Amino acid sequence: MRPIIASRHDVDTTFGLRYGMPKIIEIEKRHQIKSTIFVRVDILKNNADISFLQYLERCGWEIGLHLRNTIDRPDIPSPEEELKFLRENVNVKVHGVTPCGAVIGHKGDITWRTMDSLSLDYMEAYGSPPLGVKTYVVPTHLSFDIYYIRRFGEDLGYQQFKKDLNRILKDQKIATVLTHPAWFTRSVGMAFNNVWKIRMSKLLLSLTGKRKMGRVYDRFLSDFKEAQFMKYIDIYMLDARERAF
């Protein structure tokens, strides 16, 4: 059996959707793969943004929910409202959910249970869920951009990413990989403890065209062309078929 890789993109900003996502789609079309795109509902600002997601779904990409309200806090739209917006206002099928780290973040068991309450086909986050959840859990991702490339740079970061990915594929035969569309247009920057140093590194490296994800993502898809690339929903369906037998 060929190793399985699922490529995931978290759309956290309107900029990433409008300017980064088309670059990802261009690369993936060239390599004839489809991925899963998790979207924050609050970044969809107009009908053009919605139409773009509908177009991607029609072309075979999967749209998932990138959940802001990861603890069902009452002062912001509920998880159910976020899901309803994607399904009814954007009019796309939604099979799965992942937590967004920018608003509340992943808060352990309460986040797992909040996602589980949506009764979707699958969910994915960090670590293992608590006992009693019913939703299928997709294996936790490797953070290609904000960990490997930000911390180590394009060359060394890619080599470390490749090493870790090959190890997971050897041990588990399946792996998931995360990128963010914004970093296909801007630089992912460098890892510092100081937020202002991080921001300055992003600006300076963006101006020099360094540590952007386009080249290294294309390299990843080329190097792993013998793997079977799947969307998250495909992993869920494959596991469901295997369990049926």
3-state SS assignment for residue 64: strand
> Which pLDDT tens digit goes with each residue over 223-237?
999 999 999 999 999
Contact between residue 27 and residue 1 where contact means Cβ atoms under 8 Å apart: no
Give the pLDDT score at 182.
Answer: 97
State the chain's mean pLDDT as an integer.
96
CA distance 232 to 244: 19
State the Cα angle at 166 between 165 and 170, rounded to 5°. Answer: 120
Predicted pLDDT of residue 242: 74
In this prediction, residue 245 carries a pLDDT of: 63
Strands (E), 80-147: 96-99, 122-123, 136-137, 142-143
Distance CA 65, CA 82 (A): 8
Neighbours of 96 (CB within 10 A): 26
Span 164-184, average pLDDT: 97
| Average confidence (pLDDT) over 69-73 | 97
Matching residue, tokens 């996502």: 21
Give domain 4-244's CATH superfamily: Glycoside hydrolase/deacetylase (3.20.20.370)
Whether the full predicted model's pTM is greater than 0.75, yes or no, is yes
pLDDT for position 1: 75
Give yes or no for a contact between 42 and 49, defined as CB atoms under 8 angstroms apart.
Answer: no
What are the sequence ranges of the domains in the chain? 4-244
